[in-house]
Amino acid sequence: MFNIAILGFGVIGNGVYEVIEENKERISAVFGSSVGYTRDTSIRIKHILDKREFLGHPLERRITNDFNKILSDSSVSVVVETLGGTSPAFEFSKAALEAGKSVVTSNKEVVDKYGDILLETADKHGVSYLYEASVGGGIPIIGPLESCFYSNKITRIAGILNGTTNYILSRMKEAGISLEDALSEAKGMGYTEANPHSDLAGLDSARKLGILAGIAFNRYIPHEKITFVEGIMNVKQEDFELAAKLGYNIKLLAVAELIDRRAKLLVAPHLVKKGSLLSAVNGVFNAVSITGSTLGEVVFYGQGAGSMPTASAVVNDVITIFKFKPKAICRQNLEDGFLLSESEFGDVPLTLSNGSSYRVL
């Protein structure tokens, strides 16, 4: 039996429990068939850190508000962090790594701000720090980016990395409604955070872009270093009809492109050619296009948010740790001059007949 602890039993934390419960036999078979275990190979949630009690929940007796209880339990070898926010998520994650426990997280804010420290701490203590669920929800993108492009130099990443804004833009185009009305719909569907500013301003996409670009270009790139970040607040409903006449759709894209030995990083609404894969991504779905020097373009597509897709990615990371014990992959610090300034981008925005201006992919 493999014991884990979950920090935070909200939507994602409880989703982790549900994924494990629904897939017990499949998970056990992964270990049994590969390494020939005769003992119990199930994953057991031994502790759950939360201030709430969850009376009536099957795991109510495993709830604790004492993190030290988890830290001191030598039988727990993996800690799942689904707290959200940066504190105490960072402090708890670092303490767990220092105690010799691997950590899995879905928390993009922590990975963005403290990923360098946590990966180096994991490396120092011989444990793993995995964060597949921090970008793209259930889409497997970080793992492939780290391990499936050895024979390629990644030259470009371009993606729809935020389901909320993609839903809003899709509804503006399909239903001919305003941004405000589409946002109201998204709130009613449960697709937005209580405060949607991070989504609408492009900050959520920027955090995810920093993580992906950091892996592709072997550098720590916090989102504040990204050269240009613009959200969707200036997109007008009439822009979609004008763009369509020119053969384009409008999407909020996060783009990282290697130009010689430097990189262009930005988040902004783009005109995307109709018929392209990214143009066809609608609703809350995400898609990431990766271009390799020898492979060319590949696209990863799927649900970029939601408790079960995200929890699925978390559980897969847990299984990966128990099965393979992957080493932490550390990257170099971001040096001055690596990121191009906006004036060095070299792209020419296209201006629609109403004066709205967009970059073109």
**Domains, the chain, ranges and CATH?**
2-130 (3.40.50.720), 142-304+335-360 (3.30.360.10)
Question: Which two three-digit tokens encode residue 272?
Answer: 């995307």
In the chain, pLDDT over 70 holds for what percent of residues?
98
Question: Which two three-digit tokens encode residue 191?
Answer: 């697709």
**For residue range 143-177, what is the model confidence (pLDDT) as tens digits?**
999 999 999 999 999 999 999 999 999 999 999 99
Q: Please report the pLDDT score of residue 309 as a whole number.
A: 92
Does the active-site annotation cover 208? Answer: yes
**For residue range 58-73, what is the model confidence (pLDDT) as tens digits?**
999 999 999 999 999 9
CA distance linking residue 344 with residue 341, whole number of Å:
5
Q: Please report the pLDDT score of residue 194 as a whole number.
A: 86
Question: Of 88, 121, 86, 87, whose CA–CA distance to 103 is shortest?
Answer: 121
Burial class (CB in 10 A: 0-12, 13-18, 19+), 254: buried
Question: Which two three-digit tokens encode residue 35?
Answer: 């390494």
The pTM (predicted TM-score) of the whole model is 0.95
Q: Categorize the per-residue pLDDT at 31 as very low, low, confident or very high, splitting at 50, 70 and 90.
A: confident
**For residue range 320-360, what is the model confidence (pLDDT) as tens digits?**
999 999 999 999 999 999 999 999 999 999 999 999 999 99
Which residue of the set 113, 208, 251, 264 is catalytic?
208
Instruction: Answer whether 303's CB lies under 8 Å from 176's CB.
Output: no
Weakest-pLDDT range from 68-82, 119-133, 298-312: 298-312
Is the model's pLDDT at 88 over the cut of 60?
yes
Q: Please report the pLDDT score of residue 33 as a whole number.
A: 52
Q: Which carries the bigger pLDDT value, residue 267 or residue 138? A: 267
Q: Please report the pLDDT score of residue 190 as a whole number.
A: 87
